[in-house]
Amino acid sequence: MMGTRRGLILDRDGVINVDINFLHRIEDVVFVDGIFDLVRAAKAAGYVVVVATNQSGIGRGLYSEAQFQTLMAWMGEQFVAHGGAIDRVYFCPHHPTEGQGEYRCDCACRKPKPGMFLQAIAEFDLDPAQCWTIGDNWRDVEAGANAGVANRVRIDPTGTPVHQARGHWVAPTLAEIQRMMGL
């Protein structure tokens, strides 16, 4: 049965915050320009907003799940303070070759596999045909494609104009993506 709700599925590093590789400390967070406006507008338009993020730093032993959860709770508070909210955060701590112990596995949730997306679709009764996903690399848009998400956008801040490439959109800014979504 097809869901009924619209969703916005965001990658974290490179979309919500500037990607510094293995971000896990609040003091290192720099938000990407436009992320608060995008989430506030999406929520106002009735979208469910979730984060789906690979976090192999946990599996590699670079930081703990507790540190990740603390950071994400703080980030969630920042969205609320800016008039928006994240409905849920999905994360994959696994890595097939670099993970340690139980974290070394070829799981169904690590993007480009669609596990996190499918979980969000099921839990929030989302209609993939009415969903958008935004990521900063091929794994993000491929995970969206693998989950049947109709609208997939890769943010590429190098300044190239909006265009289509390999079945997804490419846009230079979150403000441009917000316009694409009609928000």
The answer to whether residue 166 scores a pLDDT higher than 90 is no
pLDDT at residue 164, as a whole number: 92
- List, in order, residues 6 or more apart from 130 with CB less than 8 Å away: 5, 6, 7, 150
pLDDT at residue 3, as a whole number: 87
Choosing from 13, 19, 37, 127, the catalytic residue is 13
Of residues 159, 148, 173, the one with CA closest to residue 33: 173
Percent of the chain topping pLDDT 70: 99
Choosing from 11, 87, 127, 156, the catalytic residue is 11
Cα 173 off chain centre by: 15
Active site residue 13: yes
The answer to whether residue 2 scores a pLDDT higher than 80 is no
Active site residue 127: no
Judge whether 7 and 49 are in contact, CB under 8 Å: yes
pLDDT at residue 56, as a whole number: 96
Average pLDDT, the chain: 96
What are 15-64's pLDDT values in tens digits?
999 999 999 999 999 999 999 999 999 999 999 999 999 999 999 999 99
Q: Which DSSP letter does residue 6 get?
A: -
Question: Where does the pLDDT of residue 102 fall: very low under 50, low under 70, confident under 90, or very high at 90 and above?
Answer: very high
Domains of the chain: 7-180 (3.40.50.1000)
Give me the mean pLDDT over the 104-124 stretch.
Answer: 97
The answer to whether residue 1 scores a pLDDT higher than 70 is no
The answer to whether residue 135 scores a pLDDT higher than 60 is yes
The answer to whether residue 79 scores a pLDDT higher than 90 is yes
